[in-house]
Amino acid sequence: MITKTKETTTLENGVEMPLLGLGTYLAEPGEVEGAIQSALEIGYRSIDTATLYQNEESIGNALKEASVSREDIFLTSKVWNSDQGYDNTLKAFDHSLQKLGTDYLDLYLIHWPVKGKFIDTWKALEKLYDEERVRAIGVSNFLVHHLEKLMEKSEVKPMVNQVEFHPRLVQKDLMLFCIEHNIQQEAWSPIMKGRVNDIAILKELAEKHHKTPAQIVLRWDIQHGIVTIPKSVHRERIQENFNIFDFELSEDEMAKIDMLDQHDRIGPDPDHVNF
Ligand code: NDP
């Protein structure tokens, strides 16, 4: 557990990844540019996107205009399900780079564990990593059994697993597996799309720390050593979600939040996806 303020985590291969980044799912072209600009001004240095989000080009444009240089930004994208398989993944990566206006990614992820395909997809990611076109490779929405299967067949271990993670969905088995294998866990929908603001215990803790429930939960993520990527296109919320490095939750408070787990998903179950 991280008990002091620390803003990055070190991946298995030594690459530093910010513990807090900006999510961009449903951040539309036309609004995502402003969100990126605000986030960079506020101090964010990590941006999460995916081919699925159809905003890579807008993000590329925003990065071109930004006063922060490319090498100071940690940029993540993901290969979509219909692009999986060895050759298609290599093509999808090239498209993402082109749209983002960059010649490398900091992190490239397999978006979902598509049955019968994710091993070949991983081989393509290994090649991209080998060729130094991406600084780190990983997966998303992988459960323990997916990770075990992948690790059995791969030369490079996934460095990151980005999964749904919030106080109502903890998946302790997955969390412990990732810790044991030095796979950095990353949380999507970390503030339950804003719904954490309705949970009584989080409201109490927020009042005590003069913070908001969203800030309490994001702090809980980073104290667990979990990378978190709340999405917002509003400057005040982008700022709010960033202000989590100036306070600390006690062990008791961390445990109280852990106990809110109800194995309750917002998104699809990785074992039952059909898209
Ligand atoms: P989040 O939990 O980050 O919630 C985002 C929603 O909450 C938006 O509607 C936003 O609205 C609102 N919001 C943001 N900040 C606050 C706040 N402080 N108080 C109240 N409401 C707030 O959900 P996401 O699903 O967007 O997950 C985060 C990111 O994770 C995604 O954007 C994406 O990058 C990634 N992701 C990855 C997935 C995967 O399969 N790998 C799946 C889903 C997400 P507004 O913008 O209007 O401020």
Its pTM surpasses 0.85: yes
Per-residue pLDDT of the chain (275 residues; tens, 9 = 90+): 343 446 999 999 999 999 999 999 999 999 999 999 999 999 999 999 999 999 999 999 999 999 999 999 999 999 999 999 999 999 999 999 999 999 999 999 999 999 999 999 999 999 999 999 999 999 999 999 999 999 999 999 999 999 999 999 999 999 999 999 999 999 999 999 999 999 999 999 999 999 999 999 999 999 999 999 999 999 999 999 999 999 999 999 999 999 999 999 999 999 998 88
The full DSSP string for 153-194 is: H-SS--SEEEEE-BTTB--HHHHHHHHHTTPEEEEESTTGGG
Distance CA 251, CA 260 (A): 15
Cβ(37) – ligand 1 distance below 6 Å: no
Helix or strand holding residue 92 (H, E): helix 86-100
**CA 168 from chain center: how many Å?**
18
Cβ(113) – ligand 1 distance below 6 Å: no
Alpha-carbon separation of residue 274 from 45, 114, 165, 266, 267 (angstroms): 34, 9, 21, 16, 13
Cβ(24) – ligand 1 distance below 6 Å: yes
- Sorted by sequence, the CB contacts under 8 Å of residue 16 that are 6+ apart come out as 8, 9, 10
Residue nearest to ligand 1 atom 48, measured at CA: 232
Choose the CATH number for 14-195+228-233 among 3.20.20.100, 1.10.1740.10, 1.20.120.1200, 3.40.50.300: 3.20.20.100
